Structures are given as structure tokens and as C-alpha cells.
């Protein structure tokens, strides 16, 4: 069954100052923050390509409801948010719809599906923007490959990890715009050849 259109056809990257939102609008999810950082560390040659401490911490804002997420986005950028599921706007924090946060939690607590693996990839996509990656195709490719390494790091088998990675790639192929997509063969060739760290601008984020 296809995901609802509001679940997302594109991820948003906008370089701007982080807004000071009222905490009543969202909760910080420390579990997802840790998952994002640990996953990116593992995805960099299973922790050998970068010291854990050099992976920038990420604040994950899970908005209280869909309407709040959309109104904050629209007030900030002046465009409709009905097809946005997550974004990065500079600083430490990334911004996720409540449904995106819930689907990442479901990935670790229950089913490994296109919906949940895709949400995990979205979390990592925005976390990679926090590390300084800018190109959307590269960011999406490295995020989807990182799903594999995060799944293994958190106790999944290699078979489960590969299924999760492939489902995240399917989510991108079906729901992301062309500017975010790389073919599976090209993405896998890239990730066999190099690490996301090569494209990061550690210490130079807005």
C-alpha cells in the first residue's frame, strides 16, 4: 500500500539560523539523537574512519502534532509544509514530524518495513546535513547505506541489515524527488568506494 502523500515526496534542506521554538511545540528525543550519532559513526567504516567524538551531536525535535510541525515550518519559510517530513535549518537541531519519529521508533521496536526503514533513513539524512553534507543525492545515498550499519550495530543480523538498507532505498526511489535519488547500483558503488566523512564539513556547519 502506498504511503500517504503527506508522508513525503521530498526532504528539505535550508541553511538558516535555528529558530528558538517554545518547548511546548516539540520534545527532544534523546534516544533518536543517540541512534543518529552512533549510526553515522558506525557507517564510517564501522567506526574506523572517524573517532566517535568527531561525529557532531544532533538534537532531534519531534513535534507534538502534525499541525504544529507544519505551522512552524510555514512561519519560518513561507511555503506549504504538507509534503515535508523533516528538515534541517542550521545549528544542532533537526526537525521531524511526529509520524517520522514514531516510524523510526517502530523500526527499532517492531517491524522492518519500507515505511519504518525509510523513516530511519530520513533521520540519518538530516543528521548528515548536520555533519556538513550538502548535496542531496549524496546525502540520501549515504543515509540509506548507513541504515545497514546502524541495524547491525543495534543487534540485527546481516540479512536484516541488508533488507533494511534495501527498503530505505525503495522508500527513496518511490517517494523522493529525482534530485534526491541515485540508482541502487550507483549508490552501492559509491559507498563501497568511500565514506560519508569525505564529504562532511566537520566544524564548519552554520
- Is residue 166 one of the residues assigned to a domain? yes
SS3 label, residue 162: helix
Of residues 130, 105, 108, the one with CA closest to residue 55: 130
In a domain, 173, yes or no: yes
Residue 31 within a domain: yes
The answer to whether residue 201 sits within a structural domain is: no
Give yes or no for residue 189 having a pLDDT over 50.
yes
More confident residue, 174 or 10: 174
Answer yes or no: is 204 within a domain.
no
Lowest-confidence range among 37-51, 65-79, 164-178, 192-206? 192-206
* Boundaries of domain holding 79: 5-196
Q: How much is the average pLDDT of 127-137?
A: 97
- Cα torsion angle, 102, 142, 180, 113, sign: negative
Res 11 pLDDT > 80:
no
Domain count along the chain: 1
Sign of the dihedral defined by the CA atoms of residues 83, 67, 74, 129, in that order: negative
The pTM of the full predicted model, rounded to 2 decimals, is 0.86
pLDDT band at 4 (very low <50, low <70, confident <90, very high): very low
Reported as a pLDDT band with limits 50, 70 and 90, residue 145 is very high
Is 205 a domain residue?
Answer: no
Q: What is the CB neighbour count within 10 angstroms for residue 177?
A: 13
Question: How far, in Å, CA of 77 to CA of 74, rounded?
Answer: 5
Q: What is the pLDDT of residues 57-106, one digit of tens each?
A: 999 999 999 999 999 999 999 999 988 999 999 999 999 999 999 999 99
CB 27 within 8 A of CB 100: no
Residue 135 exposure: Cα atoms within 13 Å on the Cβ side: 10
206 part of a folded domain: no
Structure confidence at residue 203 (pLDDT): 57
Answer whether residue 17 is part of any domain.
yes
Q: What is the 3-state secondary structure (H, E, C) of 92-109?
A: CEEEECHHHHHHHHHHHH
Amino acid at each position: 500500500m502506498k504511503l500517504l502523500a503527506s508522508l513525503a515526496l521530498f526532504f528539505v534542506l535550508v541553511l538558516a539560523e535555528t529558530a528558538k521554538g517554545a518547548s511546548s511545540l516539540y520534545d527532544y528525543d534523546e534516544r533518536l539523537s543517540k541512534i543518529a550519532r552512533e549510526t553515522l559513526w558506525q557507517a564510517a567504516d564501522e567506526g574506523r574512519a572517524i573517532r566517535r567524538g568527531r561525529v557532531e551531536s544532533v538534537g532531534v525535535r519531534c513535534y507534538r502534532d502534525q499541525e504544529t510541525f507544519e505551522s512552524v515550518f510555514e512561519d519560518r519559510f513561507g511555503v506549504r509544509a504538507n509534503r515535508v517530513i523533516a528538515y534541517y535549518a542550521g545549528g544542532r537541531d533537526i526537525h521531524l514530524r511526529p509520524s517520522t519519529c514514531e516510524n523510526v521508533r517502530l523500526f527499532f521496536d517492531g517491524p522492518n518495513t519500507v515505511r519504518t526503514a525509510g523513516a530511519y533513513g530520513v533521520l540519518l539524512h538530516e543528521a548528515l546535513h548536520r555533519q556538513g553534507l550538502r548535496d542531496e543525492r549524496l546525502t540520501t545515498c549515504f543515509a540509506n547505506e548507513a541504515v545497514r550499519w546502524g541495524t547491525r550495530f543495534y543487534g540485527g543480523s546481516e540479512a536484516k541489515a541488508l533488507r533494511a538498507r534495501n527498503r530505505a532505498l525503495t522508500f527513496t526511489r518511490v517517494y523522493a524527488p529525482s534530485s534526491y535519488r541515485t540508482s541502487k547500483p550507483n549508490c552501492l558503488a559509491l559507498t563501497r568506494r568511500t565514506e560519508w566523512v569525505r564529504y562532511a564539513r566537520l566544524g564548519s556547519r552554520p
